């Protein structure tokens, strides 16, 4: 049930016992046991009722979980499940455990004691004990390397309750012990624990504990557990900030989770990363950005309907990270865009198939898209603006490298990136010629050679096969894509005073197309497009004719364009209607697609379940696979609805991703106050 990303991770302590589908397996085993060995079954019945009442639904209640714990995303119950599971092996394990008899064995009672102690008065000694126990617990995850610990954990139930206890109570206890002031409402600065007078004394214990958390984080495989530990790590960020070595380890582990985990884990990991980078920018930001970029590139090698949302998520969040410091971002962007340009230049000069491959791949395209997103997220920035020029040139050079029809999907991706860029940065980048060229070169009248059932999903392919080119689905899809992209591109320029001139070649081309084409379906679409464009043309022409200023008057033209944008043009109005319809269509398509995707069937089921749990809308942005800028509006409105009162009038940089994240977060973390606060902070910096 693990998502595709982390299935290959290092063998963890609890290999797959947490897995729900294995739970049912376990049930089968039990029933088999009943028939094979009735005596033992009876013994179990007497001694371990729970094991037999095993159920793979999440409804299992645990008696020692109180109300508060249940807020943790049903995690505790699952943990309990797990240790029930392990009891079977206990017998054999006990023998091993006896060897290290010198160390005290942690029991449930001890944990209860500690808990009581902490609620009363957390002393340094108590903390030390707990830390030692925690360290022992973590040491078991490491496998055979036996360290000298004061305690041993041989019982997985104890392990679970200890870990649970720690991630629940430890943060509060530590701050209480260090006598840290509770952060006031509205206060933006984190209170660093090193400011406490007791810090020096307890530093070693805290260091040990904090290192333990990182260790734990890297050895876990179950998503929900990771999420819980990540949440704890997020709380503990101030402590990490004071301990550079541990912090580096934490960052490494966070980046791994950010790039390979499942949705919730990714979001939480990103929040922690963001928090750390914001508070210790000068130290960590540079290396974190670099590592994140590398992780991003590594993980966008393959694109499928399932991975695309993840890639989009990484793009958005990485763009968010880059917006923290534009000076640093400029250096990164410069170097990496330069790298892209060099790859492209080699491909142009050498003209070999292998060098084409170094450009025409998903990583390259996703990198182009990433930088487009970064530059559009951080738009009004004097520092980053000079990079628009090389980036555009690389994208256009990439389109023109091998302009054959088999690479049309790649070209469409590039045009989409250009559209994103020109929509958000007020930069004019010619993209229409590349679309019109397709319309001109492709013979739509030709009868398709093959019929196909499956529509081609242009979002997740770069290159068409030769058989694809003959299919009807290809031409259908192509016309649809062209319609979408032309409309979207015109939408970005709809209010510009030069719109009629911009549209002229398109109008000429579309007219020629309508004259030639005999397929009614295509003609209908294109005629509609032509009408909308012409309508907008005449609107703009009429308005500008009445204007009292000349071409040279730059400020008047800017004001005029602003005015038009406020009033809206025929095209913008049509676009917003169309967008809504299109989004619905895409939603339907996605659900249909998932049904069809028989390769990863279990995975999809899980996702759907997740979706239901997580308020359905939560991962809309992640699932959105077709165009990415369109969901911004949606998140904008949602973000306002849920957090409208808390949000400060945000500075213009990075509006949408932040809002998006806050909504996501809300759903994910379910009322975790601390994180909401974090996001507000990000606006401030």
Partner 1 sequence: MGPASKRNKKKKPSFRKLLKTSNLKLENKLKNRQFKQQSSAKKQRKEQRKLRQAITDVSHKTLKPLERYKKKPEGEEEEDEEEFLESLPVDMMDDDDLEQIRAMAKKASFLTRDISSCTPVHAKKRKSEQPVKKYEKMPRKMQQEEEKELIHLLPIKDKSGLIPQSMEKPVVPEAEEEEEPVDQDELNQEEEPEIVPLLTPQEQLELRAQKLTEKKLHMASLSSAVLADPHVNIKKLKELRAMLMETDPCVAVTVRKLVMVSLLEVFKDIVPSYRIRPLTEEEKAAKVKKETLQLREFEEGLVSQYKFYLEDLEQTVKDWKQKKQKRSQAVSLQSYKGLAEVAIRCICDLLVALPHFNFHNNIVVMVVPLMRDSVKKVSEMCCGAVSKLLKQDKLGQASLAVVKVISGMVKGRNYNVKPEVLNCLLCLRIKEVEMRKDTEDTAPKKKFMSFKEKRTNLSRMQRKWKKAEEKLQKELLEAEASESKDKKIKLHTETLNIVFLIYFRILKKAQKSILLPSVLEGLARFAHLINLEFFDDLLSVLYGLITSGDLTYRESLHCILTSFHILSGQGDVLNIDPLKFYNHLYKTLLTLHAGGRNEDTAIVLQCLDVMLTKRRKQVTLQRAQGFLKRLSTLSLHLLPDSSVGILAANRALMHTFPKCDILLDNEMQGSGVYLPELDVPEYCNPQNTALWELHLLKRHYHPMVRKFAAHLMKGAPSEGSGALSMELSRRTPVQLFEDYSVKDMSFNPPVAGPPSKKKVFPSN
Interface residues with partner 1 (CB under 8 A) are 330-331, 334-335, 338, 341-342, 344-345, 348-349, 386-390, 392-394, 396-397, 399-400, 403, 426-430, 432-434, 436-437, 493, 496-498, 500-502, 504-505, 507-508, 544-545, 547-552, 554, 557
Q: Between residues 22 and 341, which has the closer beta carbon with respect to partner 1?
A: 341
Q: How far is the CB of 357 from partner 1 (least distance, A)?
A: 17
Q: Are 4 and 306 in contact (CB under 8 A)?
A: yes
Are 497 and 425 contacting, i.e. CB atoms less than 8 angstroms apart?
Answer: no
Q: How far is the CB of 574 from partner 1 (least distance, A)?
A: 21
Q: Which is closer to partner 1, CB of 313 or CB of 434?
A: 434
To which residue do tokens 């037999």 refer? Answer: 52
In whole angstroms, the minimum distance from the beta carbon of 437 to partner 1 comes to 4
User: Around Cβ 466, how many Cβ atoms within 10 Å?
Assistant: 8
514 and 530 Cβ atoms separated by less than 8 Å = yes
CA distance 357 to 373: 24
Q: Residue 441 Cβ, how far from partner 1 at the closest point, in Å?
A: 9
- Tokens 């990182």 locate to 214
Cβ nearer to partner 1, comparing 57 with 545? 545
Cβ nearer to partner 1, comparing 191 with 507: 507
- What sign for the dihedral angle of Cα 607, 609, 612, 615? negative
At 250, which helix (H) or strand (E)? Answer: helix 244-260
From 364, 508, 384, select the one nearest 436 (Cα to Cα).
508
Spatial contact of 81 and 60, defined as CB atoms under 8 Å apart = yes
104 Cβ neighbours under 8 A, 6+ residues apart? 150, 151, 152
**Are the beta carbons of 231 and 669 closer than 8 angstroms?**
yes
- Least distance in angstroms from the C-beta of 656 to partner 1: 22
The distance of closest approach from Cβ of residue 353 to partner 1 in the complex, given in angstroms and rounded to an integer, is 16
* Residue number, 169 or 437, with CB nearest to partner 1: 437
Long-range contacts of 105-110 (CB under 8 A, 24+ apart): 105/151, 105/152, 105/153, 105/154, 106/133, 106/136, 106/137, 106/151, 106/152, 106/153, 106/155, 106/158, 106/162, 107/155, 107/158, 108/157, 108/158, 108/161
Q: Which is nearer to partner 1, 64 or 553 (CB)?
A: 553
Question: What CA–CA distances, in Å, run from 94 to 88, 109, 151, 156, 652?
Answer: 11, 19, 15, 11, 61
Q: How far apart are CA 159 and CA 114, in angstroms?
A: 14
d(CA 496, CA 663): 33
Q: Closest by alpha carbon to 498, among 432, 415, 435?
A: 432
> What are the two backbone dihedrals, phi and then psi, of residue 151, each rounded to the nearest 5 degrees?
-120, 160
343 versus 579: smaller Cβ distance to partner 1: 343
Looking at the Cβ atoms of 130 and 412, the one nearer to partner 1 is 412
* Residue 507 exposure: Cα atoms within 13 Å on the Cβ side: 14
Provide, rounded to whole angstroms, the least separation between the CB of residue 547 and partner 1: 6
Least separation in angstroms between residue 496's CB and partner 1 is: 6
Q: Which is nearer to partner 1, 394 or 667 (CB)?
A: 394
Ramachandran region, residue 143 (left: φ > 0; alpha: ψ -120 to 50; beta: rest): left
**Residue nearer to partner 1 on the CB measure, 237 or 391:** 391
**Residue with Cβ nearer partner 1 (121 or 553):** 553
- The two structure tokens encoding residue 107: 């029991």
Nearest approach in angstroms of CB 387 to partner 1 is 7
Nearer to partner 1, 103 or 348 (CB): 348
Query: Is the distance from CB of 365 to CB of 420 less than 8 angstroms?
Result: no
Contact in structure between 219 and 142 (CB atoms under 8 Å): yes
**Closest distance of CB 85 from partner 1, Å:** 54
- Nearer CB in complex with partner 1: 164/482: 482
Answer for the pair 683, 648: CB distance below 8 angstroms, yes or no.
yes
**Structure-token match 């009248």, residue found:** 445
Residue placing its CB nearer to partner 1 in the complex, 502 or 667: 502
Q: How many CA atoms lie within 13 A of 364 on its CB side?
A: 24
Phi, psi of 600, rounded to the nearest 5 degrees: -110, 50
489, 442 in Cβ contact below 8 A? no
Give min distance, CB of 427 to partner 1, in A: 5
How far apart are CB 345 and partner 1 at their closest, in Å?
Answer: 4
CB of 436 to partner 1, least distance (A): 7
Backbone conformation region of residue 426, classed left if phi is above 0, alpha if psi is from -120 to 50, else beta: left
* Burial tier of 59 (Cβ tally within 10 Å: 0-12, 13-18, 19+): exposed
Coil, helix or strand at residue 670: coil
Minimum distance, C-beta of residue 325 to partner 1, in the bound complex (Å): 13
Give min distance, CB of 666 to partner 1, in A. 37
CB of 38 or CB of 386, closer to partner 1: 386
């Amino acid at each position: 049930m693990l998502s595709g990303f982390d299935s290959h991770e290092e063998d963890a302590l609890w290999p797959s016992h947490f897995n729900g589908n294995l739970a049912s397996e376990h049930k089968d085993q039990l029933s088999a046991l009943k028939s094979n060995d009735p005596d033992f079954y009876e013994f179990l019945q007497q001694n371990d009722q729970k094991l037999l009442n095993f159920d793979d639904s999440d409804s299992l209640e645990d008696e020692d979980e109180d109300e508060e714990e249940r807020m943790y995303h049903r995690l505790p119950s699952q943990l309990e499940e797990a240790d029930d599971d392990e009891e079977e092996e206990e017998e054999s394990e006990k023998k091993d455990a006896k060897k290290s008899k010198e160390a005290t064995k942690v029991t449930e009672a001890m944990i209860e004691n500690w808990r009581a102690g902490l609620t009363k008065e957390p002393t340094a000694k108590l903390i030390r004990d707990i830390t030692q126990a925690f360290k022992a617990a973590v040491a078991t995850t490491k496998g055979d390397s036996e360290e000298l610990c004061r305690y041993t954990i041989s019982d997985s139930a104890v392990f679970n309750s200890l870990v649970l206890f720690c991630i629940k109570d430890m943060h509060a206890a530590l701050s209480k012990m260090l006598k840290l002031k509770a952060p006031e409402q509205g206060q933006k600065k984190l209170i660093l624990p090193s400011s406490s007078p007791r810090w020096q004394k307890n530093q070693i214990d805290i260091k040990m504990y904090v290192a333990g958390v990182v260790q734990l984080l890297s050895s876990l495989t179950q998503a929900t557990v990771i999420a819980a530990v990540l949440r704890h790590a997020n709380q503990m960020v101030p402590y990490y900030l004071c301990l550079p070595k541990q912090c580096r380890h934490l960052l490494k582990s966070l980046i791994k989770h950010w790039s390979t985990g499942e949705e919730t884990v990714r979001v939480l990991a990103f929040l922690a990363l963001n928090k750390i980078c914001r508070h210790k920018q000068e130290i960590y930001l540079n290396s974190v950005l670099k590592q994140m970029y590398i992780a991003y590139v590594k993980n966008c090698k393959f694109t499928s309907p399932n991975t695309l949302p993840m890639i989009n998520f990484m793009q958005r969040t990485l763009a968010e990270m880059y917006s923290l410091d534009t000076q640093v971002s400029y250096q990164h962007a410069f170097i990496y865009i330069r790298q892209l340009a060099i790859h492209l230049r080699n491909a142009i000069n050498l003209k070999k198939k292998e060098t084409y491959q170094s450009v025409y791949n998903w990583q390259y395209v996703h990198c182009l898209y990433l930088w487009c997103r970064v530059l559009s997220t951080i738009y009004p920035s004097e520092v980053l603006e000079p990079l628009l020029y090389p980036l555009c040139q690389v994208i256009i050079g990439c389109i023109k490298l091998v302009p054959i029809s088999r690479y049309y999907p790649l070209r469409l991706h590039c045009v989409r990136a250009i559209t994103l860029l020109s929509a958000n940065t007020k930069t004019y980048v010619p993209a229409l010629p590349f679309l019109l060229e397709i319309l001109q070169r492709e013979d739509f009248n030709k009868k398709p050679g093959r019929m196909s059932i499956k529509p081609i999903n242009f979002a997740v392919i770069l290159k068409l096969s030769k058989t694809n080119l003959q299919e009807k689905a290809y031409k259908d899809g192509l016309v649809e894509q062209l319609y979408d992209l032309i409309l979207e591109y015109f939408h970005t320029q709809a209010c510009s005073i030069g719109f009629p001139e911009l549209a002229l070649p398109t109008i000429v081309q579309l007219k020629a197309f309508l004259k030639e084409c005999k397929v009614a379906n295509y003609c209908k679409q294109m005629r509609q497009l032509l009408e909308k464009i012409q309508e907008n043309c005449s609107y703009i022409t009429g308005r500008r004719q009445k204007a009292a200023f000349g071409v040279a008057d730059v400020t008047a033209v800017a004001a005029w364009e602003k005015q038009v944008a406020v009033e809206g043009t025929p095209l913008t109005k049509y676009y917003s209607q169309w967008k809504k319809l299109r989004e619905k269509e895409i939603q339907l398509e996605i659900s249909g697609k998932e049904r069809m995707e028989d390769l990863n069937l279990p995975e999809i089921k899980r996702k759907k379940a997740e979706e239901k749990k997580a308020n359905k809308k939560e991962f809309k942005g992640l699932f959105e696979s077709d165009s990415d800028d369109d969901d911004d509006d949606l998140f904008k409105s949602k973000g306002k609805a849920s957090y409208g009162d808390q949000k400060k009038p945000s500075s213009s940089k990075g509006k949408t991703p932040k809002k998006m994240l806050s909504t996501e977060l809300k759903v994910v973390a379910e009322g975790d106050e601390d994180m909401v606060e974090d996001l507000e902070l990000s606006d401030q910096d």
